[in-house]
Amino acid sequence: MKEKMNKIKVNVTSEVGELEAVIIHTPGPEVENMTPKNAERALYSDILNLSEASKEYSQFKAILKKHSTTLEVVDLLCTILKDDTIKNSLLTKICMNEDIICIKNDLMEIESCELARQLLQGVPLIRENLTSFLSNERYSLRPLHNFFFTRDASIAVNENVLIGKMANTVREREAIIMEAIFKYHPLISTRTFNPLNEINFDKKISIEGGDILIAREDVLLVGNSARTTSEGIDYILDKVKDSDRIKHIIVQELPDSPESFIHLDMTFTFLSENEVMIYEPVILDPNRYKTIHINVENRTVRINEENNLLEALKKINFDLRPISCGGKSDPWVQEREQWHSGANFFAMGPGKLIGYGRNVYTLEEMNNHGYEIIPAKEIIKGKKNLNDYSKYVVTIDSSELSRGGGGCRCMTMPIARK
């Protein structure tokens, strides 16, 4: 008999607390269901090979499962779709959002787990009339090519979940699905906030989870990027003013291009209580990109510009030692490794990290700072035991996954940490 899982109360008060529960999405056919002609529409610069990406992702998933409860989006979605009322409500919202309400009744007839799969991998277009016959599209609901980056569509902040307002319409269904999971799944207990549900919603708002780091229960770091606008940050500020928990929002301005700077966590991630990974040209170069400290006390807001992110954090009792993406010797190497998510690590606990094995200069720099570098294969085969190490980076094969434009933090949505 399958063991019954205890209810999970959302609680994330840091980036490095021991991981207790995380939501992921194993990439499926949706990452291949595109052509060179429409790859850009899917926010890809290249097409992934699913068979290779799956091998790499299986390492990632195996390591996460050794640390915490690991939940799959498709399984959570299947569960809530078994309730016809929820199914009807969710399909209505999706179909209206994508202007395809005509297929809703057909979708209602699909069994819940098969429907969950199709909502992620794409609903094939049935060519039953002239319009559909002449259409160049393959799907009536397109595949969610980016959903294995589960970080972006929802963000756990303390006991609540902020639903992302995605910057691109091709990703909007991800946020709709995640909001439904957090509202209706019986295993998860939380409260959600969604800017789209506000009466005075500002169309300029966009917020994605790769731009939000929970430094401490009272401190948020937020990237002002191509995916998270100042209006989106103001929405977060408005919610923070009604809270007695978060006192500081530190905003880091990011370059608009190239695409490797898509989110803050592509240039800055927490590694332990006192160490961070940084991409120096963005985080430390003076006067290139603004760092702004928003202090909130009793609904009073004070805004000041800071020299850089590390100095801003030091002023509120975060004395952090930076480790440089790509090492410190060669700017070209730094740039190459940042491009392949060399600054994007996921902490399963303080100093217990997982990242891409291809970024060898970054890993060498981490080794110089006391981190043991352990290939995931050695853990999976039982050749090494993580309990034997206090600080480590588990490295996964990543020649294919890295071409998707994100790293290990991007592929996780933690919902509970100690």
Q: What is the CATH number of the domain that holds 152?
A: 3.75.10.10
Band of residue 2 on the pLDDT scale cut at 50, 70, 90: very low
CA angle 244, 277, 44 (to 5 degrees): 95
Instruction: Answer yes or no: is pLDDT of 43 > 70.
Output: no
Examine residue 351 and state whether it is found in any structural domain, yes or no: yes
Examine residue 80 and state whether it is found in any structural domain, yes or no: yes
pLDDT for position 31 = 82
Band of residue 243 on the pLDDT scale cut at 50, 70, 90: confident
pLDDT for position 410 = 96
Rg (CA), the chain: 21
Examine residue 62 and state whether it is found in any structural domain, yes or no: yes
pLDDT for position 36 = 63
Band of residue 400 on the pLDDT scale cut at 50, 70, 90: confident
Instruction: Answer yes or no: is pLDDT of 399 > 90.
Output: no
Mean pLDDT of 273-278: 97
Examine residue 1 and state whether it is found in any structural domain, yes or no: no
Spatial distance between the Cα atoms of 76 and 260, rounded to a whole number of angstroms: 30
What percent of the chain shows pLDDT beyond 90? 78
Nearest to 392 by CA among 352, 337, 346: 352
Least confident range from 42-56, 242-256, 319-333, 393-407: namely 42-56
Mean pLDDT of 16-45: 80
Higher pLDDT, 232 or 124: 232
Spatial distance between the Cα atoms of 124 and 82, rounded to a whole number of angstroms: 22
Examine residue 130 and state whether it is found in any structural domain, yes or no: yes
Higher pLDDT, 12 or 145: 12
Nearest to 393 by CA among 359, 352, 358: 352
Burial class (CB in 10 A: 0-12, 13-18, 19+), 163: buried
Examine residue 3 and state whether it is found in any structural domain, yes or no: no
Cβ atoms of 132 and 162 closer than 8 Å: no
Mean pLDDT of 363-374: 97
Mean pLDDT of 12-32: 94
Tell me which residue range forms the domain holding 241.
Answer: 8-417
Examine residue 88 and state whether it is found in any structural domain, yes or no: yes
Examine residue 349 and state whether it is found in any structural domain, yes or no: yes
Instruction: Answer yes or no: is pLDDT of 244 > 90.
Output: no
Spatial distance between the Cα atoms of 208 and 263, rounded to a whole number of angstroms: 8
Backbone region of residue 299 per phi and psi (left: phi > 0; alpha: psi in -120 to 50; beta: other values): left
Instruction: Answer yes or no: is pLDDT of 15 > 60.
Output: yes
The CA-atom distances, in angstroms, between 87 and each of 55, 82, 124, 172 are 33, 7, 19, 18
pLDDT for position 37 = 64
**296: helix, strand or coil:** strand
Provide the pairing of β-strand 219-224 with 191-193: unpaired
Rounded to the nearest integer, the mean pLDDT of the chain is: 92
Mean pLDDT of 345-366: 97
pLDDT for position 1 = 35
Least confident range from 94-98, 158-162, 328-332: namely 328-332
Spatial distance between the Cα atoms of 321 and 395, rounded to a whole number of angstroms: 22
Please state whether the predicted TM-score (pTM) of the whole model is above 0.85: yes
Mean pLDDT of 109-134: 90
* Number of structural domains found in the chain: 1
